[in-house]
Amino acid sequence: MKKVLASIGIGNATVDTVLPSDTVRPGETVDAEVHITGGSVEQDIGTIRFELETRYRTEEGYQEVDIKKYTLADGLTIEPEQEETRSVSLDIPYTTPVTLGNVDVWVETELDIKMAVDPEDKDYLNVRPTPRLQAVFDALDELGFSLHSAECEADPHSYFTSQRRFIQEFEFRPTSGEFRGTLDELEVIPRPSAESLELFVEVDRRGGILSELGDLDEKKVRTTIGTTDVSEVRDELETLIRNNA
């Protein structure tokens, strides 16, 4: 009877992934511990799977997506109430979105147990910007822009990236400085890597009804940020925005 109950998740083994911190940055490697506790019966665990996940908005609603999958191929037999610990290193890809606005990122851990409901554990992460992206945020703040929204959205035609099905878009609005009154908003889509940060920027100028209907008030440009110096990034963005405002 205990085996039957365990097969439907009652008295099953449990799993808990413990991270040294829930705060991470894309490009980092996080060392974690996986704590497995046996249930009421002996169970064979084939693999331990990890999925780094987020969700993005589509026309039909939100869809969850794997950013990266990891497997700890270390099968074991867990006895009733036995406690086991396994170590794992998780690489946080540069494509991991920043958890600002309406964006969540989490690690989901699953134990592969045949003929049973796989035990799961979900741990939410606080993903901070890369140093170059943080410099962009700081530079825009100095230019008088405030973050209005952050969202992951579908990129069905792979216009911005071929590595994944979605992008993260940040929307800034000018609340002070030179561009207040001349721009409606600034949309920024980052594509970070280890070597640089590519930015897709849409400058939305304040125009009349006719220009807005025809999208004549929008200008799309692309630039690459190679430094973390805020003053250099500010000067570069100021020139880019001014030339397209």
Same domain, 121 and 143: no
Check residues 82 and 26 and name the one with the higher pLDDT: 26
Structural domain ending residue among the three candidates 93, 127, 161: 127
Determine whether 138 is exposed, middle or buried from the number of CB atoms within 10 Å of its CB (0-12, 13-18, 19+). Answer: middle
Q: What is the pLDDT of residue 212?
A: 45
Identify which of 60, 230, 42 has the alpha carbon closest to the alpha carbon of residue 143.
230
Same domain, 140 and 106: no
Q: What is the CATH number of the domain that holds 67?
A: 2.60.40.640
**pLDDT-derived band at 38, boundaries 50, 70, 90:** confident
The answer to whether the CB of 57 falls within 8 A of the CB of 152 is yes
Same domain, 235 and 155: yes
Residue 3 scores a pLDDT above 70: no
Q: Domain residues for 119?
A: 2-127
Same domain, 146 and 212: yes
> What is the pLDDT averaged over residues 91-107?
95
Structural domain ending residue among the three candidates 127, 159, 188: 127
Domain count within the chain: 2
pTM over 0.75: yes
Structural domain ending residue among the three candidates 127, 160, 184: 127
The answer to whether the CB of 70 falls within 8 A of the CB of 92 is no
